[in-house]
Amino acid sequence: TQLLEQSPQFLSIQEGENLTVYCNSSSVFSSLQWYRQEPGEGPVLLVTVVTGGEVKKLKRLTFQFGDARKDSSLHITAAQPGDTGLYLCAGAGNNRKLIWGLGTSLAVNP
């Protein structure tokens, strides 16, 4: 059974701080996606990483896929209150069904 562990589960920081969220697995994924979800809404796709070692940037967000395609990280620089939300990672398994992490609930305080 493929599992995806996400950490930390909760994070509360002050505006302007940096943070990193991790997704780890013992399984290899063909691709991995990061989503952000606000309360009462569906997840919104932020990025897809496909190649081992790949780094993608989306403004203040930096996403990295591990060399072995088993893990990924999301780094946010100078967090803003608008970054508050639930961050979810999801890896594509053998049958392309997504394996989901439990999410990191981020609160950025002004």
Partner 1 sequence: DTGVSQDPRHKITKRGQNVTFRCDPISEHNRLYWYRQTLGQGPEFLTYFQNEAQLEKSRLLSDRFSAERPKGSFSTLEIQRTEQGDSAMYLCASSLTRTNEQFFGPGTRLTVL
Under the binding rule (CB under 8 A), the answer on residue 85 touching partner 1 is: no
Distance CA 72, CA 55 (A): 10
* Candidate ranges 13-21, 29-37, 65-73, 75-83; the one touching partner 1 (CB under 8 A): 29-37
**Cβ closest to partner 1, residue 48 vs residue 73:** 48
Query: Segment 37-66, which members bind partner 1 (CB under 8 A)?
Result: 40-45, 48
Could you give the CA distance from residue 28 to residue 78 in angstroms, rounded to a whole number?
31
Q: Is 1 in the site for partner 1 (CB under 8 A)?
A: no
The CA-based dihedral angle spanning residues 13, 14, 17, 21, taken in that order and rounded to the nearest 10 degrees: 20
